[in-house]
Amino acid sequence: MTDKKPKNIFVQGAIAASFIGESIYKHQTQKNIGAHSIFLGQVRSDVIDNKTVTAIEYTSYEAMALEKMHEIRESIFSKYSLTCMHVYHSLGTVAAGEICLFVFTSSAHRKAAIDACEETVERIKAELPIWGKELFEGEGYQWKENSLGV
């Protein structure tokens, strides 16, 4: 365990594709990296009882989520040989087609980055106190439910 302060992971609204490109670009100075693994969650325009999801509105118990994410990060770093790891999650409204989750792991050899990315995504979905409200076209909403590991 380190005594580092939990890093903020939350961004207001969608995560821009250009931001992801820039994050990748910034790693080109780290010449010990051989592999990057990236997971992106995108808001789907599901149709539920003839109503179409146009956006998801995310809320979180932020203080607890950042503490928990800090724990996850420490545990992933102790388990895998990573050079770095970045996590961003949206809060507020993210329209269908936009990115709401960005997990980015890097390592010298591919297995560590790939496995760490997948495990981090699973843990984020299972352990971070974040809730998505699926907003329907016109009006109405439904609270999103995560199915684990699918």
Partner 1 sequence: MTQITIIAFGQLTDITGNRFTIDNIIDTNTLKIQLEEQYPLLKNRKYAIAVDEQIVSENTLLNASSTVALLPPFSGG
Three-state SS for 123-146 is HHHHHCCEEEEEEECCCCEEECCC
Give me the amino acid identity at 144.
K
27 sits near partner 1 (criterion: CB under 8 A): no
The rounded distance, in Å, linking the Cα atoms of 39 and 84 is 14
79 sits near a copy of itself (criterion: CB under 8 A): no
Q: Which of residues 37-66 bind a copy of itself (CB under 8 A)?
A: 37-45
Closest CA to 126 of 83, 68, 86: 68
In the shown chain, the binding pattern of residues 42 to 81 toward partner 1, with x for contact by CB under 8 A and - for none, equals: ----------------xxxx-xxx-x--------------
Closest CB to partner 1 among 41 and 80? 41
| Residue 65 · residue 128 · CB < 8 Å | yes
Q: Which residues make up the interface to a copy of itself (CB under 8 A)?
A: 17-22, 24-25, 27-45, 96-99, 106, 108-111, 114, 118, 121, 147, 149-150
